[in-house]
Amino acid sequence: MTQPTIAPYGSWKSPITSDLIVARSVALLQIALDGDGIYWIEQRPEEGGRNVIVRRTPDGQQQDVNRPPFNARTRVHEYGGGAFAVEGGTVYFSNFADQRLHRQDRGAAPQPLTPPIDLRYADGVIDRRRGRLIAVREDHTVAGREAVNTIASVDLEGDELGGTVLVGGNDFYSTPSLNLDGMRLAWLTWNHPHMPWDGNELWVAEFADDGSLRNATRVAGGGDESIFQPQWSPDGTLYFVSDRSGWWNLYRWRDGRSESLCEMAAEFGEPQWSFGRSTYAFESARYLLCTYRQRGVDRLARLDTELLTLETIDIPFSEISSLHATANQAVFIGGSATEPASVVRLDTATRRWEVLRRASDARVDAGYVSVPEPVEFPTEHGQTAFGFLYRPRNRDYVAPDGEKPPLLVKVHGGPTGATSPTLNLRIQYWTSRGFAVFDVNYGGSTGYGTAYRRRLNGQWGVVDVDDTVNGTRYLVERGEADSRRLAIDGGSAGGYTTLAVLTFRDLFNAGASHFGVSDLEALAKDTHKFESRYLDSMIGPYPERRDLYLARSPIHHTDRLAVPLILFQGLEDRVVPPNQAEMMFEAVKKKGLPCAYVPFEGEQHGFRKAENIKRSLDGELYFYSKVFGFELADRVEPVQIENL
C-alpha cells in the first residue's frame, strides 16, 4: 500500500475539484406526486442555473418537462419556491424570464395563461371543481408602490386579467390548501413587521357558489405563534404545525378546537424562507408520515392519528425535506453525511427505499470524505450553541508532525436558517485540501426550538458574532486548528456575520463575504418587500433605533478591520444590492489591506451558473493561499488582489 505523502495543510491535491462539483451536480427542489408520476425540480449550473421540472415515469424513465429556454422559477418573495403544480399529467409553472404562469400538456409546448404584466405566482394548488389554479399572487404592476400580495385564482384555460383575488388586505400570504371535495380553503397570512416564523395566522373559509370565499375563520396563530403547512387529511380534518409549545409540533383542528398530536422537544416545521415546503404527508386518514429535527439531525416517522403514537422509521438519512406521500409510497429529498441530497422513494409497506436522483453524480472515494462531528460549545450567558466540525481528510496526504490545520468557519444565511450534516462537496473541497471546516449553528438557527431561534431577536450582530467566535475559540483550545490561520466565510446574512466578526472581533486572520450585508441602514432602506421589516425584530425599529444600525454595520467601522478580505457579488441581486459589497471593498482597499472584489454579471442572490460557482470556490482558495502562504496543488484562475 502506498504511503501518504507528507505535505502542509492546504497544499494537498484533491480529486474534488470545482469542475467536478459544477459539472456533476444539481440542486434538488420541490417534489410533487401525480398519479404514478413523480416530479421534482433540478437547478442545473451547467444550464446557467435553469430550473428544470423532471418527471419520473412508472417504468423508471426520467424526462425533462420544460425544455430550454423555459425556467421553472418564481420570484415571489424573491426567494421563490412552489413554482409548479401538476394534475393529470398537465404541469402549470411560473417561468422565470416573464414570471407568467404557463400550462404544459404532456407532449406539447408551454402556453402562457397570464398576461405579460408584472404579476408573480407561487404555491399553486389545482381547484378541480372550478377549472382554476389557486395561488399566492404578488402584484408589481404599479411603479413606486410596495408589491401587493394576495391569494388569487387563475383560469386553467387562460386568464387575461392575471387572476381573480380571493383573499387580500394583509401584507403576506402562503400555503393555500384545498380540502378533498374542494369546498374549503385554508391559508396562512401575516403582516409587517413579522416574518412567518415570528407570528402568523391560519384561516379557513368556505367557497360560495360563485367561487368566492365566505365565512372566513381564524383557526390558530397570532403575533407570537408561528404556523406552518396547513393540510387537509383524507377524512377532511385540517392539520398544521405550530410552535405554541416552544417547538414546532403537529396539531389538528376539528370540532372547532385545536389539539396537540405529539408533543416533543423537536421541530416538525421549518422557517418559510421559500414556498412549497412540506414536512409531513398523509399515507391515509389514519397514518401520517412526518419528519422532525433534533439537535440539527432529521428523522422520518409515522404517526398513528387515532392512537397518537409515533414510530420512527429507520432510514440512513439525516436531512429530509419536501416530503410527499400516497397510499403506498413516500417521496422526499434526503441526504446524509456520506450521501448527497437525493430524491428518495420509500415503500411504506416494506420500508425499502431507493434513490431516484442524486444531487451529484460524482463518486468520491471515502478516503477523501470528512464525516461531520456534532459540536456543542459554551457561549455567552451560560448558553450552549451548536455546529458541525469537519476534520481534514485525504487518503493520499498527511501533514508534517506538529502542524495544525487552517480552519474555515462557515456561517449559514438567513440568519433564521440552519446548516445540516448532509454531504456537501463544497465543504469536502476544503477538507480534502487540508482545511478543517466548522459549520456553525449560532443562536437564531432553527432546529433547536423557538427559544433558541428567538435568541437573535434584537441581537443580530451580537449573538451570532458571539457564538461564532466562541465556537472557534473552543475548537482552537481543543487543538483542532492553527490559531494563526483562521478564516471565515458566509453568504447573505452569513456574509454579514462574517464581516461583523472580522470588523468587531480580533480572532480571524482572513475572510470571504458572498453577497453579504455591510450596511444595515442601507439594507433597511433598499430591499424587497418580504424582508423590508425583518430588521425591526432582528435589530430594532428603523429609524427610531438608527443608532443600533450604525453601531452594528461593518461599513461604518472599517477602522477596526485589520485582516485580508475577499468579496463575491451578483450584480442583479435585489436582496442585498451590489453597492453593499462595493462600498466595503473600497473602504478596505483604502486602508491598504489585501482585498479583492469579484462581481458576477447576471447573478441574483446566490450563484447559480456553473462558471460563477467554480470561480467563487477557486477564487476563495486562491485568496487564502496568498494570505496564508501555502502552495496550491493545482493551478486555479488567479484573483486580482489589491494591496497584496
In tens, the pLDDT along 88-111 reads 999 999 999 999 999 999 989 999
Q: Is the pLDDT of residue 23 over 90?
A: no
Q: Is the pLDDT of residue 625 over 70?
A: yes
With CA atoms as reference, report the closest residue to 166 among 112, 128, 126, 205.
205
Residue 197 · residue 274 · CB < 8 Å: no
pTM, entire model: 0.94
Q: What is the CA radius of gyration of the chain?
A: 24
Q: Tell me the mean pLDDT in the region 519-544.
A: 93
Q: At 2, is the pLDDT very low, low, confident or very high (cuts 50, 70, 90)?
A: confident
Q: Is the pLDDT of residue 527 over 90?
A: no
| pLDDT tens for each residue of 73-88 | 999 999 999 999 999 9
Q: Is the pLDDT of residue 132 over 70?
A: yes
* Confidence at residue 491, expressed as pLDDT on a 0 to 100 scale: 95
With CA atoms as reference, report the closest residue to 377 among 436, 431, 446, 439.
439
Give CA–CA dist 112/288, Å, rounded.
Answer: 36
Residue 123 · residue 138 · CB < 8 Å: no
| CA within 13 Å, CB half, 463 | 24
Residue 101 · residue 92 · CB < 8 Å: yes
Q: Tell me the mean pLDDT in the region 397-424.
A: 95
Q: What percent of the chain has pLDDT over 70?
A: 100
Q: Tell me the mean pLDDT in the region 544-552.
A: 97
Q: Is the pLDDT of residue 394 over 70?
A: yes
| pLDDT tens for each residue of 138-196 | 999 999 999 999 999 999 999 999 999 999 999 999 999 999 999 999 999 999 999 99
Q: Tell me the mean pLDDT in the region 624-641.
A: 94
Q: Which helix (H) or strand (E) element contains residue 625? A: helix 610-628
Q: Tell me the mean pLDDT in the region 507-514.
A: 98
* Confidence at residue 1, expressed as pLDDT on a 0 to 100 scale: 59
* Confidence at residue 361, expressed as pLDDT on a 0 to 100 scale: 87
Mapped onto helix, strand or coil, the DSSP state of residue 149 is strand
Cα 261-419-323 angle, rounded to 5 deg: 45
Q: Is the pLDDT of residue 510 over 70?
A: yes
Instruction: Region of 180 please: left (phi>0), alpha (psi -120 to 50) or beta.
Output: alpha
Q: Is the pLDDT of residue 608 over 90?
A: no
| pLDDT tens for each residue of 260-305 | 999 999 999 999 999 999 999 999 999 999 999 998 899 999 999 9
> In the numeric block, which cell numbers belong to residue 285?
386518514
> What is the pairing mode between strands 510-514 and 486-491?
parallel
The mean predicted confidence, pLDDT, of the chain is: 96
